[in-house]
Amino acid sequence: MANPFLSSEEYDERAHQLYNEGRYDDALQVLHEGLTIYPAAVGLHVGVGYARLAREEIAWARRSFDLALALDAEHEDAMAGLGEVLIKLGQMDAARELFFRTLELGYEDDVELMLQIGRALFREGLAEDARQFFEAAVRHAPESAEAVSLVGYTQHRLNKDDLAIATLRRALRLDPEYAEARIYLANVLYDRGEHEAALYHLGRTTPEDHWDELGIWRIVELKRSIHKLAEDDPELEPWEIRLAELAGQPDAIDDLLAEVEATVLEKEEEAARTQLELFGAMLVELQEKRDPVQHRVMTRDGRAFFGTWDEIVQQMKEVNRTFTARTLQDYMANEARRGFSLTGVVIPIADAESFIKGSADAGLLRIIG
């Protein structure tokens, strides 16, 4: 039941606390109670919009932000929220127009707003747009390690790595415990081939600091190659545990699907064996008459491999020291997952040829012959 003794600001504050705790249903209940008393309270409509957005109820979120802007056409949080809704709807030009409208109206001193908008643009790959909002935040909060590091992220995305490294180091001088910036800096250094510097920064993080598999893969790889640790060294165990946590454990549905897939594969293999027995002699004869096609690939670290597609993948598996796979299929599945973490590109693993070509499409290697 609505409490008439609470102000709209108090309802907004209560809902905001629940929102920050991830209790979106409870936040909505408080906001709706407040709106029964204060139907024209812009802040409450904005709160409903963000709670709906968090629950992926895009149409309802848009309705709330539209209502808020109908009451106050220059409400900065409503403009930012509606901009995020429009991004999800694929209306990028309209979203950008709303975002930049906040700058025109003089809201750049609202640091949290600038960071929110900048992150929304950054997630969409609009690094140059995002940079303007992050730099606005830095102008008004020059001691904010978060704001400074976000400028560094955009510099890296804009291929200005020297600037990015300097900016990220500045962020870490402001806050040496800011793990997100340290991990990002380590990855930039790793990509530049500065592996010892990358390991220095990764080594100052804990497994719990990582929410992406890439940094963990790299610290394990670097500890093995630079510190010469064995694969079963106890020092690596916490990182491998965290890697397993991020990869996730299969649930009951995954187990069922795996069982069905195994059954299908078993039947397909049985049929294939029958076909091979029938045509084995013919295949052997054809193979003797024609040499297999040879290929050459080069990985990003300069290693070259030569042979058939299967032979190349086998060679890549044999030189890999980060993950010891039992089979080629295990190796390809693991590398495809790591490649996706690095590039966002899905690499097929149906066979060696599609795996190598997919890896080339993702920029992880080059096919040179």
Which residues, 6 or more positions from 277, have their beta carbon under 8 angstroms from its beta carbon? none
- Using the Cα atoms of residue 348, residue 352, residue 354 and residue 358 in order, give the sign of their dihedral: positive
pLDDT of the residue at 129: 96
pLDDT of the residue at 288: 45
**DSSP β-bridge partners for residue 367:** 297
Query: Where along the chain do its domains lie?
Result: 1-105, 250-289, 291-369
pLDDT of the residue at 317: 84
Supply 100's token pair.
Answer: 């930049």
> Residues 221, 322: contact at Cβ < 8 Å?
yes
pLDDT of the residue at 245: 87
The model's pTM: 0.66
pLDDT of the residue at 255: 55
Of the options 3.40.50.10540, 1.10.260.40, 3.30.390.10, 1.25.40.10, the CATH number for the domain spanning 1-105: 1.25.40.10
pLDDT of the residue at 279: 52
pLDDT of the residue at 322: 56
pLDDT block averages, 10 residues each, the chain of length 369: 77 93 94 94 96 94 96 96 95 96 96 96 94 97 97 96 97 96 95 94 95 90 91 91 77 55 62 58 50 79 85 85 67 80 78 89 84
Supply 18's token pair.
Answer: 């629940």
